[in-house]
Amino acid sequence: MKSVRIVWLLVLVVVVGSLVASEATERAPRTNAERVNSLAGDFACPVCQGQSLAESEVPVARTIRAAVRTMVDEGRTDDEVRSMLVTRFGEQVDYTPSGRGLTGLVWVLPIVAGALALVAVASALRRWADADTKPEGGSRTFVGRPMTLIGVVALAVLAGILVARAAGDRSSTDALTGDIRSSTRTMLAEAAVAAPTEAEVLYTEVLEIQPSNVEALAYRGWSRWRVGQRDVALSDLDEAVVLDAGYPDVRVFRASARNAIGDYAGAAEDLLVLDGLDAPPIVYDLLSASRLRQRIAGGLAQNGELLFGIELLDSGLDAAAGGDRQAGLLAERGWLLAATRIPELVESGLANLDEAVAADPKDPYARVYRAVVRNAIAGMPEGAAADVEVFSSMVSPPPNLLDLMRSAGLTGE
């Protein structure tokens, strides 16, 4: 009897100790930003499936997060913010519902179920003990039920192994037993650094859990595009745009894909929408590095839609910040105008090329375009030499510009 009590005491110590330890290690948010993240993580995005406000990038989630941030900065308490969100968007969005009303059942039912289970176990133990009691009144013991004990130990070991495996897979922000929200976040992070084929599988898994996850849909489309699955890729990208027309990344992906298949007008439309979105600077850095806008404008000009191409470049100039990004766009603008060989436009184009060189004297396109225009179009070959010299001193210049220089007779080769 004494050994049974010791076992129960040990179980009690372990359970209570674990609960206390887990509660103690859950540090309360300290800064306003941490509070906003914590609150946003406790509420579902009202229009998404399985995503919290903290995870979703759809407009309504961004808007609500901003409102929460404002309230926190104003000094409102967490309870006030929670109350506001539940009042405005309903109890359905609350991942930790109050104990009031019908939703209180989510708190009461597990306790009732646990209590019932405890009573059932206690009752079973008593029956076993009674069955093991000797007629002459000997001590009660579990030893008479070795198979039961072995079964319990085996189950405990199995549960321990499963929990340990889950713990080994989790990230620092995952719950011990894992949950849908944390899992998808982890999967998205893994997919971001995975090879396209592997990333596509991960994004598909995320979409099985959260069909309206725009980030997963857009990036799966892009992964598929990169491995050559063009039709399904475009379908993903179209669907992502329908779900969230204001998600900058998908606009860039679809513009790139449309440009590659010769749909320059469609690609330009995506970038024009992007320019109205107040996208993060990194998006424009990527656009600048890839020269996507310039390539689309060039495609439009080749198709006889010069004005649309110029509009696209001008829109980029309005949205771009920083001289180097402007240099590339101005250079393309000048090049396209000068290529018309209409005197007024050539003059205008040369002015743009001058501006481009002034904005970034080391922009290879500005230098080569100006040299070619001066030499072959404007009849000013003497002015091309300086640009050729600067370009020739560049390390690893773009191969297409070398070809252009050769074809324009500006190199000795």
Partner 1 sequence: MVVGAVLAVLVLVFATRDTNRDRLITHLVGAVAPPVVGLDADGVLWDLDDQRGRWVLVNFFSTTCVPCIEEHPELVAFAQSHDGSDPTQPAVRIVSVAFDDSETAVVSFFANNGGEWPVLAADTGRIAVDWGVVAVPESYLVTPSGYVAAKVVGGVVREDLENLLTRALTAASTEAKR
Interaction site with partner 1 (CB under 8 A) = 46-47, 59-60, 62-64, 66-67, 70, 84, 88-90, 92, 102, 105, 245-246, 273, 276-278
Q: Which is nearer to partner 1, 262 or 276 (CB)?
A: 276
Q: Which is nearer to partner 1, 209 or 273 (CB)?
A: 273
Minimum distance from CB of 6 to partner 1 (Å)? 35
Residue with tokens 């961004």: 62
d(Cα 356, Cα 333) in Å, to the nearest integer? Answer: 9
Minimum distance from CB of 126 to partner 1 (Å)? 22
Judge whether 68 and 40 are in contact, CB under 8 Å: yes
Judge whether 122 and 72 are in contact, CB under 8 Å: no
Minimum distance from CB of 75 to partner 1 (Å)? 15
Q: Which is nearer to partner 1, 85 or 401 (CB)?
A: 85
Q: Which two tokens stand for residue 339?
A: 């290529």
Minimum distance from CB of 278 to partner 1 (Å)? 6
Find the angle CA(266)-CA(271)-CA(272) to the nearest 5 degrees.
Answer: 95
Q: Which is nearer to partner 1, 33 or 154 (CB)?
A: 33
Minimum distance from CB of 282 to partner 1 (Å)? 18
Q: Which is nearer to partner 1, 84 or 286 (CB)?
A: 84
Q: Which is nearer to partner 1, 283 or 402 (CB)?
A: 283
Q: What is the CA radius of gyration of the chain?
A: 33
Q: Where are the alpha helices (DSSP H) in 261-341?
A: 264-275, 281-290, 292-302, 306-319, 323-339
Minimum distance from CB of 87 to partner 1 (Å)? 8
Q: Please, which residues have CB within 8 angstroms of residue 327's CB and are 6 or more apart in sequence?
A: 356, 357, 359, 360, 363, 365, 366
Burial of 296 (0-12, 13-18, 19+ CB in 10 A): buried
Q: 292 pairs with which residues across the strands?
A: none
The type of residue at 409 is: G
Minimum distance from CB of 98 to partner 1 (Å)? 16
Q: Which is nearer to partner 1, 277 or 286 (CB)?
A: 277
